[in-house]
């Protein structure tokens, strides 16, 4: 247990002690890294005159402490904080003794932890052995002058930052913020006018419009203010190489584990997955630091066999890419480029080798396609492997865990005899009766199996249809992660998503340029971009639920809600668990420094610390979570590691643990990416947005209208699920105070935007209602009202223009984004709201089927495939209703005379506003061959007709005129 008046050194495990003033000794006044004075003096004597955590020189730190009274005040303040925190921790620890029996097992009769006594005994034995060996193996002493000469270049390199923030021009940013504030003021005046000037003869329509406009203004605030401080970043890959890849020395770059997830090879073509894997294996990074894990969540033999072929082709493809610096390193997309491939290729053999490699790739494609053709029909007895044994994954819902290492550990080399990166096939165990949590569960299984086999400190996850387009993308991320000044508190580096196979006009806003080039840059200036599911480099420690190094661990129960927990015992146990984690970290660290300690004692120590409740019953995996710099123990037996890897992907491993709740990918939503990033940033981590000039990753699948709407439906449904869960940003994570309020606004926007569909559908219906009834939602405009309306429209336009200036997006990108906001809002978002409430409250899971019809177009043909889906009905109905309203409005104007044309202009303007925003939908619905599904037209016309008939019968928004008023009007008419 942690004692109230003692603080232990993170280097030797001894007590920190006090300084000359009787206060707790503090070595570094920048990060307050806990280390004793003896270790500091030893480091200085060995010319390591800087803090181990933040690299601040000790001499400068001490000079400031001696010469500045403020520093000494901070020092005493910090000492008191440490003392206070220890007293609180001790209080909780004493209470925890009553609820946890493990603490009694860890202490001896005198109250000291047992592991400390064991470590001391091992230390004494180790010192005796080392004294005997010291006389035999004497190391020559390097003169201090020579040592300083060798250290100086590295210190000079270390002083140069690996990345810099490139802020937006102050002029552009000041103008942008001024317009935002001006628009906010105009909105306030606009709503004051709208509320104080009701329309009496159409009160219902006026009230509906007011409610819709207030919600739109609230949505604008949530979307606009997180873009208050946008920034750009610049990386220096050459400095990274100079610092960590010195000539004649082994590379010091950190290892990276790549995750590729796939489920159904019939929907996710194996050739696309193979290209993604090949682009990873050929990445410009040290081969011994790269490992690629492919998760086959469908346990398909087709995926396994295609990876066998991919591993064989990689032996030829990788040396070709490295020799000629090929970009991109996915062969399908490299050979399909319509550029001069001879540019910048000066080697005479390039043309010959390129032709040979293209021929090899065509043969590889033939083999993959043959496997796909063979897999079209499953044999009655199931698939069998080459040795005649049945394929274990014949039943995708009931099969054991499977792991196969293709490259790396198997000793395979490429055609030139060079080492290859690791390639590992993983299919987690699945059994009936267990909840497997789809993609989030598969990613968590990869986290565990990779920790056992390679344990790289960083993880990069990609979808199976996203290939590495920039071979230096990992180095770009390492410029942030490995920078001691920047990367300490960074949980992930997010890259933007870019896509191939989309037409130039980007009809359905597939590229999502406004989000990736505007919103994400704005978030990067606050606490970092949100996690978008792919193209992201993670700090493994952040996935394990640890807090940033610069902050103490938060009790998990206190970080969940703004209200204090009602279960005091749970708070105590969480604090106890955090205290045990710190003790175990120190214990394992000390054990690693001893050569002859007992493995059984180590496993018993881990077991007694009750870490199984958090990470599961695997001592190998638990120890890997404490290795901040990654790596596998040198004494590990490969066969033992494979057995342990099979154990951690079993379907029952996560039972009664924190997986999916506090660590790993978080469960509870189909958009587990947003939820996972949100949990990390609530703990105090920050993220970074990296936009290299050459896009790091690219998606390869074109999306037609129906598929695009279903993609948006899935995203919106995930947001509704988060809104209805305990992780809702409206109330989650207030206790720690580590999530900035602008960042919280951004997360609130990500979960409430689907609800905008309700006022949006109502607002898009109002123009048709106004045209059919002859009424309007706005009274006769005065000069003040006209000025307010004009100022509002001008501020909207100016805001967009200034965003284009600092972000680089085009007018077409903004307009496409605006159009699809309306299209998605009146279709996918609307269905997501109802589906989410039915699923979360009533347990009913609805499904909107998609049926495809073929397209004849060769280029971008898939974009024009027409698929029947229920999502097509609401937008089509709105278009028909507004067109009918326009026709009815012009008919009334022709019969009403000259005076009726003035009011008609405003109504028709709003109707055409709706039609113009839905125009891409209408164009996509018609297709190039005008093959609109008949069922869509029938349903839409039927709904529009019913709407018109019901309106004529009920007419709810128009003031009723009684017969007396009609008679009085008739009397006043001069016949």
Which residue carries 């003033």 as its tokens?
21
* 613 carries a ligand binding annotation: no
* 268 carries a ligand binding annotation: yes
**d(C-alpha 452, C-alpha 446), whole Å:** 10
211, two tokens: 């409610």
Question: How many other CB atoms are found less than 10 A from the CB of residue 175?
Answer: 16
The 3-state DSSP class for residue 536 equals strand
**d(C-alpha 34, C-alpha 16), whole Å:** 7
Question: DSSP letter at 264?
Answer: -
Catalytic residue chosen out of the listed positions 517, 571, 578, 673: 673
Question: DSSP letter at 487?
Answer: G
Catalytic residue chosen out of the listed positions 43, 61, 296, 297: 297
Question: How many other CB atoms are found less than 10 A from the CB of residue 75?
Answer: 19
- Are the C-beta atoms of 530 and 748 separated by less than 8 Å? no
Provide the pairing of β-strand 402-407 with 422-427.
antiparallel
**d(C-alpha 701, C-alpha 647), whole Å:** 35
**d(C-alpha 559, C-alpha 734), whole Å:** 7
Question: How many other CB atoms are found less than 10 A from the CB of residue 541?
Answer: 21
524 catalytic? Reply is no
**d(C-alpha 270, C-alpha 956), whole Å:** 57
Contacts of 830 (CB under 8 A, 6+ apart): 757, 758, 761, 874
Closest CA to 830 of 876, 882, 871: 871
Given phi > 0 = left and psi -120 to 50 = alpha, else beta, which region is 955?
A: left
**d(C-alpha 109, C-alpha 164), whole Å:** 55
Phi, psi of 182, deg, nearest 5: -60, -45
Which residue carries 């839905």 as its tokens?
918
245, two tokens: 């890849």
* 267 carries a ligand binding annotation: yes
Contacts of 633 (CB under 8 A, 6+ apart): 623
21, two tokens: 């003033």
25, two tokens: 């000794």
How many Å from the N-terminal Cα to the C-terminal Cα in the chain?
A: 102
For the CA atoms of the chain, what is the radius of gyration?
Answer: 33
Contacts of 923 (CB under 8 A, 6+ apart): 507
Which residue carries 């200085």 as its tokens?
44
- Encode 322-340: b = buried (16+ Cβ within 10 Å), e = exposed: bebebbbbbbbbbeeeeee
332, two tokens: 């399908």
In sequence order, which ranges of 68-201 are alpha helices (DSSP H)?
69-99, 102-106, 114-136, 144-159, 170-196
Closest CA to 723 of 744, 751, 749: 751
- Are the C-beta atoms of 746 and 523 separated by less than 8 Å? yes
**d(C-alpha 316, C-alpha 291), whole Å:** 18
* 297 carries a ligand binding annotation: yes
* 374 carries a ligand binding annotation: no
Closest CA to 704 of 508, 435, 441: 508
673 catalytic? Reply is yes
Residues tagged in the binding site annotation for Mn(2+): 439, 463
Residues tagged in the binding site annotation for UDP-alpha-D-glucose: 261, 267-268, 297, 438
Residues tagged in the binding site annotation: 261, 267-268, 297, 438-439, 463
Catalytic sites, residue numbers: 297, 673
């Amino acid at each position: 247990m942690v004692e109230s008046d003692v603080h232990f050194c993170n280097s030797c495990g001894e007590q920190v002690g006090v300084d000359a003033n009787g206060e707790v000794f503090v070595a570094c006044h920048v990060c307050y890294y806990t280390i004793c004075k003896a270790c500091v003096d030893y480091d200085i004597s060995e010319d390591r005159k800087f803090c181990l955590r933040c690299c601040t020189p000790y001499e400068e730190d001490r000079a400031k402490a001696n010469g500045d009274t403020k520093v000494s005040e901070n020092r005493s303040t910090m000492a008191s904080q440490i003392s206070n925190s220890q007293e609180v921790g001790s209080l909780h620890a004493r209470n925890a003794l009553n609820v946890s029996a493990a603490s009694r097992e860890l202490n001896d009769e005198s109250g000291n932890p047992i592991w400390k006594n064991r470590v001391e005994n091992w230390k004494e034995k180790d010192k005796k052995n080392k004294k005997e060996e010291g006389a035999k193996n004497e190391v020559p002493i390097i003169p201090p002058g020579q040592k300083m000469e060798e250290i100086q270049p590295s210190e000079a390199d270390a002083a140069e930052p690996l990345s810099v923030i490139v802020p937006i021009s102050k002029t552009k940013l000041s103008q942008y913020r001024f317009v935002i504030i001006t628009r906010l003021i105009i909105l306030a005046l606009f709503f004051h006018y709208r509320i104080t000037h009701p329309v009496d003869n159409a009160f219902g329509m006026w009230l509906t419009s007011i409610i819709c406009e207030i919600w739109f203004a609230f949505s604008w605030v949530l979307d606009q203010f997180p873009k208050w401080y946008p920034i750009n970043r610049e990386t220096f890959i050459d400095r990274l190489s100079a610092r960590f890849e010195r000539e004649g020395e082994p590379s010091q770059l950190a290892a990276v584990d790549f995750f590729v997830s796939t489920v159904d090879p019939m929907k996710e073509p194996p050739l696309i997955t193979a290209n993604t894997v090949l682009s990873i294996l050929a990445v410009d990074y040290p081969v011994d630091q790269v490992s690629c894990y492919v998760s086959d969540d469908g346990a398909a033999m087709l995926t396994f066999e295609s990876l066998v072929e991919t591993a064989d082709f990689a032996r030829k493809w990788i040396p070709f890419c490295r020799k000629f610096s090929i970009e991109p390193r996915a062969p399908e997309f490299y050979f399909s480029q319509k550029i001069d491939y001879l540019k910048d290729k000066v080697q005479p053999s390039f043309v010959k080798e390129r032709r040979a490699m293209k021929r090899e790739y065509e043969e590889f494609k033939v083999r993959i396609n043959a496997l796909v053709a063979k897999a079209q029909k499953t044999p009655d007895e199931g698939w069998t492997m080459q040795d005649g044994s049945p394929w274990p994954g014949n039943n995708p819902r009931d099969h054991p865990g499977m792991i196969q290492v293709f490259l790396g550990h198997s000793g395979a080399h490429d055609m030139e005899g060079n080492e290859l990166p690791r390639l590992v096939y993983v299919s987690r165990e699945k059994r009936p009766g267990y909840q497997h949590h789809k993609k989030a569960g598969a990613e968590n299984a990869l986290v565990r199996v990779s920790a056992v086999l390679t344990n790289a400190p960083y993880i990069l996850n990609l979808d199976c249809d996203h290939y590495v387009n920039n071979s230096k993308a990992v180095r770009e991320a390492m410029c942030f992660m490995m920078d001691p000044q920047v990367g300490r508190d960074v949980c992930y580096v997010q890259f933007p998503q870019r896509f191939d196979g989309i037409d130039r006009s980007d009809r359905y806003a597939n590229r999502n340029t406004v989000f990736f080039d505007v919103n994400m840059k704005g978030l990067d200036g606050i606490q970092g971009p949100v996690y978008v599911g792919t193209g992201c480099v993670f700090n493994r420690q952040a996935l394990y639920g640890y807090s940033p190094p610069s902050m103490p661990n938060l009790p998990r129960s206190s970080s969940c809600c703004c209200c204090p927990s009602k279960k005091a015992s749970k708070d105590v146990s969480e604090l106890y668990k955090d205290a045990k984690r710190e003790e175990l970290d120190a214990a394992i660290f000390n054990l690693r420094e001893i050569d002859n300690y007992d493995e059984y004692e180590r496993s018993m120590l881990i077991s007694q610390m009750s870490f199984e409740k958090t990470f599961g019953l695997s001592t190998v995996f638990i120890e890997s979570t404490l290795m901040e710099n990654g790596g596998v123990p040198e004494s590990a037996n490969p066969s033992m590691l494979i057995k342990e890897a099979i154990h951690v992907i079993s379907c029952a491993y996560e039972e009664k643990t924190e997986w999916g709740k506090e660590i790993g990918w978080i469960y509870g939503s189909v958009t587990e990416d947003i939820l996972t990033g949100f949990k990390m940033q609530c703990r105090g981590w920050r993220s970074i947005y990296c936009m290299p000039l050459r896009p790091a990753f690219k998606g390869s699948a074109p999306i037609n209208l129906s598929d695009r709407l279903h993609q948006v439906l899935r995203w919106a449904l995930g947001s509704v699920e988060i809104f209805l869960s305990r992780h809702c940003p409206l109330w989650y994570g207030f206790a720690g105070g580590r999530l900035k309020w602008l960042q919280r606004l951004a997360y609130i926007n990500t979960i409430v935007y689907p609800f905008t569909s309700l006022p949006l559908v109502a607002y898009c219906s109002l123009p048709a209602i106004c045209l059919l009834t002859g009424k309007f939602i706005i009274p006769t405009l005065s000069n003040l009202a006209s000025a307010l309306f004009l100022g509002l429209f001008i501020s909207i336009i100016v805001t967009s223009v200034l965003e284009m200036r600092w972000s680089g997006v085009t007018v077409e990108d903004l307009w496409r984004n605006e159009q699809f906001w309306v299209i998605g809002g009146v279709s996918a978002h609307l269905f997501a709201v109802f589906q989410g409430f039915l699923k979360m409250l009533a347990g009913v899971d609805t499904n909107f089927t998609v049926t495809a019809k073929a397209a004849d177009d060769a280029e971008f043909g898939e974009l024009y495939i027409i698929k029947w889906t229920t999502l097509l009905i609401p937008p089509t109905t709105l278009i028909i209703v507004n067109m009918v309203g326009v026709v009815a409005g012009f008919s009334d104007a022709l019969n009403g005379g000259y005076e009726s044309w003035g009011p008609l202009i405003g109504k028709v303007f709003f109707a055409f506003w709706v039609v113009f925003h839905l125009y891409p939908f209408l164009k996509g619905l018609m297709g190039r061959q005008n093959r609109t599904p008949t069922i869509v037209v029938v349903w839409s016309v039927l709904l529009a007709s019913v709407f018109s008939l019901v309106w004529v019968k009920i007419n709810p928004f128009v003031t009723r005129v009684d017969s007396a008023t009609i008679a009085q009007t008739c009397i006043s008419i001069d016949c």
